[in-house]
Amino acid sequence: MALVLGRSCRAGLCMRPSDFLVQLGAVALSALPLVGIAALFAGMVIALTSSLQLAKLGQAPLVADIVAVSLVQELAPIFTALIMAGKAGAGLASELGMVTLSGQAQAMRALSLDIDRELIAPRVWACIWGTVLLTIAAMFMGLIGGMLLGGAKLGLSPVHYMNRMIGALEPQHFAAGLIKSFGFGALIAAYGVRFGLRDKSDAAALGRHTMSAVVVALFTVLVADYVFTSFIVAAFA
């Protein structure tokens, strides 16, 4: 994994911006509707479940605070990462797997084409920044979802809800969420590339490697989330 990320950093300096933008469009735009809808409903579900408990304590307006902090710091990054692991991770592993299986990767080596620059760096950086951008979109959509639910079920006015949200959110919540999403994107990309460019002889191996890229990325993202969160909690305790 470190090998892939190290090479991406080095080759990232000389990759063509157009290659990166093409990959970013493919990764981020294609996942945007899915991430947006998932985040919207996640925001609504958190607002709904937390409002039931808070109403018993007479603290229903705190819903806005809970939805805002939990979405921005935790749920939006992890939701987006899980969707990206299934979508972008599988896409990377299968695309690069076909490049390997069809002999293109071998031909590129034989022609002195820099695989790091031509294939790996644009995809890795697109996956990382795509995850960050989609996390921002997920935060936004999740907050809207919470606000819609707060208005419809709890009778909270949008202005009141937004004021509470703004009061609850601090810069470190955004920083924590975005740093996590950057790390998650790096993990997903590294495993996608690593498994994609493994030597493979048939379609069955391509399928196995693609599945492994997704499973390993999902597992690693969840473990990394715990580690990141522990650091953040320790830092702000």
Partner 1 sequence: MTFRITELRWQVSPEFTLAVPSLTLPAERTTAILGRSASGKSTLLSLLGRVEGSYFERPESLSGSIVFDELELLALSERELLQRKLRGQTIGFVFQREGLFPGRSARDNITWPLTALGLSPSEAAARADQALADVGLPADKNVATLSGGERKRLAIARAIAPSPRVLLLDEPLTGLDPEALQGLRDLLQRLASGRTLVMVTHQREDVEQLADHLVFMDHGRVTRAGPRAELGDTLTRFFAGQAITDSHPEVP
**12-71 residues near partner 1, rule: CB under 8 A:** none
Range in contact with partner 1 (rule: CB under 8 A) among 19-27, 53-61, 106-114, 153-161: 106-114
From the list 125, 118, 127, the residue with the least C-alpha distance to 92 is: 127
Binding mask 140-169 for partner 1 (x = CB under 8 A): ------------------------------
The only residue of 114, 140, 208, 215 in contact with partner 1, by rule CB under 8 A: 114
| Least distance CB 197 / partner 1 (angstroms) | 5
- Is 190 within 8 Å of 183 (Cβ atoms)? no
The only residue of 68, 105, 165, 190 in contact with partner 1, by rule CB under 8 A: 105
Residue 107 binds partner 1 (CB under 8 A): yes
The only residue of 190, 197, 221, 232 in contact with partner 1, by rule CB under 8 A: 197
From the list 94, 130, 132, 113, the residue with the least C-alpha distance to 15 is: 113
Residue 110 binds partner 1 (CB under 8 A): yes
82 or 99: whose CB is closer to partner 1?
99
Residue 104 binds partner 1 (CB under 8 A): yes
Residue 112 binds partner 1 (CB under 8 A): yes
CA 96 to each of CA 91, 114, 193, 210: distance values in angstroms, whole numbers, following the listed order: 8, 14, 7, 10
- N- to C-terminal Cα separation, the chain: 31
The only residue of 30, 49, 106, 163 in contact with partner 1, by rule CB under 8 A: 106
Residue 111 binds partner 1 (CB under 8 A): yes
Range in contact with partner 1 (rule: CB under 8 A) among 121-129, 169-177, 194-202, 224-232: 194-202
Range in contact with partner 1 (rule: CB under 8 A) among 60-68, 111-119, 156-164, 215-223: 111-119
Contact residues toward partner 1 (CB under 8 A) are 3-4, 100, 102-115, 194, 197-199
